[in-house]
Chains A and B, each alone.
Chain A
Amino acid sequence: MMALVARRLMTAIPTLLAIILASFFLMRLAPGGPFDGERPLPPETQAALQTAYGLDKPLWEQAWLYVSRLVQGDFGPSLVYRDFTVSELVAQGLPISLTLGGLAIILALLIGISAGLFAAVRAGKAADKTIMMLATVATALPTFVTGPALALLFGLWLGLLPVSGTSQGWSWLVMPVVALALPVSGAIAKLTRAGLATVLKQDHIRTARARGLPETKILFRHGLRPALVPVASYLGPAAAGLLTGAVVVETVFGLPGLGRYFVQGALNRDYPLVLGVVTLYAALIILFNLFADLIYGWLDPRMREG
């Protein structure tokens, strides 16, 4: 088990490096720069700024400098939010995004697994068909539709929840988390339902039934764990989906999370900010995939070897 973790962390380094370099050069291919405003700056000021931030050096050298600073934990300064380093901006945004993403995945797992379980137990009946149809709808609706729709319904018409920004308590989290969790929960419900449908036909379930166990015990003790294997393998991509979804949700609900800095940074050509967020996203996704692999091993002991 530890060997697996060590091996994964070793391969994570070149993966991260490749992602950083690819985004570094791709971003530079995009036209425009960080100091292009409405009113063009005088050429001397432009040049002075370029020199101050080292943007006049050859691209390869800049890339090398960026990576070598990154290794020491220095994400560099923000080019647009003057007086702030990228680390400071990230430190502001990350807690909000992590709370949002973490709660969303927990909610999605709760809704998805219980809905899938319920549907599998009632396979072929009306409840099963309704749940599976709702799951399809939930998966198909993008967050930029559900987000505003939720805001309209619960925020504006019913006035139950705040529409924008953070506030005291937890009420501001409800709609963004729900909007973020919905598509993921739909997919998890479908995977759980399909997984259980396969597992409940297997021989070891018959063995459990032959022991006279109650159906609930058969389901939870013998059936559920192997049925969740496809869910575990979906967790990696789901985490990526949540992060990109968070970009939209944070913009829709006006939350100062990482996603918003990401969008702003990209629009402003704030190179270090975008790179910093990309690096962080990549690291999170890699970490989540590793996490999913560990869950895999718990769900099915055969995966622990090899």
Chain B
Amino acid sequence: MAIQIGGKRLVDGVNITVEAGKCTAIIGASGSGKSLSCLTPFGLTPGEAQGSVKLDGIELIEADAHQMRKARSRLTGFVFQQPLTALTPHLTIGAQLQEAADQAGPQRLSRHELAQKLERVGLSRADERLDQFPHRLSGGERQRVMIAAAIVHRPKLLIADEPTSALDASLRGEIMALLDELRAEQGLAMLLVSHDLASVEGHSDDLIVMDQGKVIESGPSADVIANPQEEYTKRLMAATPRLTEPAPVLPAVGNMLMETEAVTVMFPRPGWRRGKIEAVVDASLTVSEGEAVAIVGGSGSGKSTLGRAIAGIGPLTSGRINWQGEVLPERRARSLAMRSLIQPVFQDPVASLDPQWKVQDIVAEPLKNLRPDLLRTDRDRMVEEALDDVGLGAEYLQRVPNSLSGGQAQRVAIARAIIASPQLLVLDEATSALDPLVGASILELLAKLQQANKLSILLITHDIASARRLCHRIVVLDEGHIVEMGDMAAVIDDPKADSTKRLIAAS
């Protein structure tokens, strides 16, 4: 099969087979053509497919409108990446589930039957949900509804396009287990698309690795993972952090640098109800010179709020932040020198850079504010040095963020953070929006910077396996409270808190 959009050939020579009751997984970086390969034959992308795609005897490439509708409705179910937007906002869950059931031919399901379908995918209070609109449900709940709707008409093939990548780490395992169960129960064939090897491992029979529109390697999953043949696959395997890999050698740790004392952050409750939401409660932690500390937790655990409070870019309700034994004042009262001590890096690299600015100006901005005494020539020299430190050449100076890839943009964001010579970097999910290969290279870069500059790092993440590559110690947050804290290896070997165990299982 080949796919082109507007005459440009994006996918070429792809062969995919899925057998009934089996799961074939396609993995690859973003832009590798993996989603295109699965969705284009069904007419669900702007692309045009050539070659041959056979589904249960129907040739999809030459199918007329009627056959195509049949292929989409009766034979196939789809689960998409973004559960938050994949459901129609103005139709109730019940109406959408009924619509999905109609794919197998008009059939009126009773309310009780519809509720049973929701219960099957693990939704509680199923009867109540039928009358609710999608916005009342969380991301995980909506993805369960999507799965229920994708299989309610008993299709032969289920196409799951990154079904778990938009979900919280601890939910991923649950959703994948659910898909496995349903597959076995209904004898479904499943085509699973993912950029993340870890989420596919153990859930697929066959594995296809794609890069730049071509199949790099394919075969039984266990074989490919245990014994990758191609260079790209090997690199992909190596880039995927695992808890089983040997512990990295981390640089020595110096004196105490920063200490938080009972940091609490509260937000007013939205709406008319009075009261406060406690986002972070009594968080006390330390970071030493040259030390990397991971703050780990699920979404909503308060890890980002704590990181923002420490970086001085978010609210702090009570508690203190000490810097080398002295109290760091409230953010507005911090001097320029204090402000340059701690610098943040955010999750979405492209969104955190001003699209109108050139890389040169973006990287120079902290210097203009924090070191107004610098001469322009010195500043330009420092910008080039900072870019060089993050592995970008002078040719990037005049580029704008939209022309950068995710990994390049994150490097620019890191250059902006390190240019004012901070002693502590606060990285908020700085690698989770990136492909595994790119994410791994960013982690390597951070390790290099840490060693070269004696930098301390606070790494906020949901992914323990990637934190382990960089961090000496780990702090686990759950519902705003620190539930566990300690040496990285010790916590992974013998986790005490339930949420730590869940996060480790999800890694």
Listed in ascending order, the chain A residues whose CB lies under 8 Å from chain B are: 202-204, 206-214, 221-222, 225-226, 299-302, 306
Contact = CB atoms under 8 A, between A and B. Distances in A.
Given A203-B82, A301-B133, A208 B90 contact: no
A204 B85 CA distance: 6
Given A207-B88, A212-B103, A226-B89, A302 B135 contact: yes
Interface in B16-74: 42-44, 68-74
Contacts of B90: 225-226, 299-301
Contacts of B133: 301-302
Contacts of B76: 210
A292 B146 CA distance: 32
20 contacts: A202-B85, A203-B82, A203-B85, A203-B86, A204-B89, A207-B88, A207-B146, A209-B44, A209-B72, A210-B42, A211-B72, A211-B99, A211-B149, A212-B68, A212-B73, A212-B103, A213-B73, A226-B90, A302-B133, A302-B135
B72 A210 contact: yes
Nearest to A215: B65
Contacts of B72: 209-212
3 closest A-B pairs by CB:
A212-B73, A212-B72, A210-B78
B346 interface: no
B89 A302 contact: yes
B465 interface: no
Nearest to B153: A211
Interface string B91-126: 100000001100100000000000000000000000
Contacts of B275: none
Contacts of A300: 89-90
Interface residues of B, number: 30
A130 to B, nearest CB: 24
B82 A210 contact: no
A141 B91 CA distance: 39
Given A212-B74, A301-B135, A207 B69 contact: no
A301 B89 contact: yes
B271 interface: yes
Interface string B118-151: 0000000000000001010000000000100100
Contacts, number: 66
A192 B80 CA distance: 27
B87 interface: yes
Contacts of A211: 72-73, 99-100, 103, 149
Contacts of A206: 44, 80, 86
A225 B88 CA distance: 10
A10 to B, nearest CB: 15
A175 to B, nearest CB: 37
A210 B44 contact: yes
A123 to B, nearest CB: 13
A17 to B, nearest CB: 26
Contact of A207 (B43, B71, B87): B87
The CB with the most chain A CB atoms within 10 A, among B68, B76, B88, B91, is that of: B88
Contacts of B86: 203-204, 206-207
A41 to B, nearest CB: 60
Contacts of B103: 211-212
Nearest to A217: B99
A212 B82 contact: no
Contacts of B44: 206, 209-210
B229 to A, nearest CB: 35
A301 B133 CA distance: 7
A202 B270 CA distance: 28
Given A204-B87, A300-B89, A302-B135, A214 B42 contact: no
B88 A222 contact: yes
Contacts of B71: 212
Given A203-B85, A306-B271, 13 more contacts: A204-B85, A206-B86, A207-B78, A207-B80, A209-B43, A211-B103, A212-B68, A213-B73, A213-B99, A299-B90, A300-B89, A302-B89, A306-B270
